[in-house]
Amino acid sequence: MASVFVVEDDHQIRELAVRALADAGHVVRSEATAMAALQGIVDSAPDVVVLDLGLPDLDGGDLLRMIRAVSDVPVIVATARDDDSEIVRLLDAGADEYVVKPYSGAELEARVRALQRRVQMGGQARTLTVGGIVIDLRARTVEIDGAVATCNRKEFDLLAYLAANAGTVVTREELYAEVWRQPYGGADKTIDVHLSWLRRKLGETAAEPRYLHTVRGVGVKLIAPS
Ligand code: CA
């Protein structure tokens, strides 16, 4: 079971979330404002944060960025805005998972469990090495040819996923599902943008790849340069 921090200003929704999570055996804390929540999250270091986006004192997306500046805690955002671009924006801003309002207590609890399972699985292997790339999954750091490379959250997740599947072609559908946690929508600029950022860090271009090889119409493959 997890320690869960619920940030929600709507009294009824907060009660529903807290009760559902506590009934399932989780240790739950909650706050109704962004500033109190930020302090509470820093103080209590929860396993999972459930974050409402419409808060009275600060936009939830801004709070998400503030949390990300100080913590790698998995965050589930609760949004009433069920559109793809909004969800992509939130996942890029550092959310790990989302629920669309109105959600049921059972649905929220299932998301918390799934996220926790994912985090625990990620903790099993410590490092992945592909050629000169060394990825520390726990510290979430990357070295390329012995030099530390700074990656944002999604770049790291993408590189780690490709490295875990090194030598095999990973499809865009799979990347959407496994890295972005959403169904493939066909408009795949997000993946292309992240791949080109990664290429820059790896010191290569799409025209002259070293590690990242695009298989046209299929996907992308990470392999050590020969
Ligand atoms: Ca709200």
pTM of the predicted structure, to 2 decimals = 0.58
pLDDT tens figures, 91-133? 878 888 889 899 999 999 999 998 888 777 665 557 889 999 9
Higher per-residue confidence, 23 vs 181: 23
Mean of pLDDT values over 38-43: 94
CATH of domain 127-222: 1.10.10.10
Query: How much distance in Å is there from the Cα of 53 to the middle of ligand 1?
Result: 6
> What are the start and end residues of each CATH 1.10.10.10 domain in the chain?
127-222
Q: Where in the chain is the domain with CATH 3.40.50.2300?
A: 3-120
Distance 182 CA to ligand 1 centre (A): 23
Q: In the β-sheet with 48-52, what is the strand arrangement from edge to edge? A: 27-31, 3-7, 48-52, 75-79, 97-100
Rounded to the nearest angstrom, the distance between the alpha carbon of 52 and the centre of ligand 1 is 6
* Cβ neighbours of residue 136 closer than 8 Å, sequence gap 6 or more: 126, 127, 142
Q: Is CATH 3.30.70.270 the right assignment for the domain spanning 3-120? A: no
State how far the Cα of 102 lies from the Cα of 8, in Å rounded to an integer: 13
- Written as one letter, the residue type at 85 is S
d(CA 148, CA 131): 15
What is the 90 CA–ligand 1 centroid distance (Å)?
16
